Amino acid sequence: MAVKVIITWDIAPEREQEYFEFVIREFIPGVQRMGFELSDAWATVYGDQPQIMVGARIDSIKQARKVLGSSEWVGLNNQLQDFVQNYSIKLVEATNGFQF
């Protein structure tokens, strides 16, 4: 069963430029290199929801847990924390269409 990791966050104030450079140059390629297929990227423009939501699919819960427990993921995730706040991550069964 395919699963989706859904990650949400707000960009830290005063870190926007550095954040975007990191996400484009390191975070997205790193996530893909680890075996996740990016499926969604959403930005909240108005309302009381996380500013950013990213979804990525992987073939199984076993693979997802292996990747999320890897030192490569931990390092990449720790770097992301320098640029974001209100971070949340969850795994759900992957379905077609929008999930949150």
Q: Locate the domains of the chain by residue range.
A: 3-93
Structure tokens at 27: 């975070």
The mean pLDDT value for 43-64 works out to 92
Please name the fold of domain 3-93.
Alpha-Beta Plaits (3.30.70)
Q: How far apart are CA 62 and CA 70, in angstroms?
A: 12
The mean pLDDT value for 68-81 works out to 96
Q: What is the pLDDT of residues 4-41, one digit of tens each?
A: 999 999 999 999 999 999 999 999 999 999 999 998 88
Report the percent of the chain where pLDDT is more than 90: 80
Coil, helix or strand at residue 94: coil
Q: Is the pLDDT of residue 82 over 70?
A: yes
Strand partners, 10: 85
Per-residue pLDDT band at 97 (split at 50, 70, 90): low
3-state secondary structure labels for all residues of 9-77: EEECCCCHHHHHHHHHHHHHHHHHHCCCEEEEEEECCCCCCCCEEEEEEECCHHHHHHHHCCHHHHHHH
Q: Is the pLDDT of residue 45 over 70?
A: yes
pTM: 0.87
Q: How far apart are CA 95 and CA 97, in angstroms?
A: 6
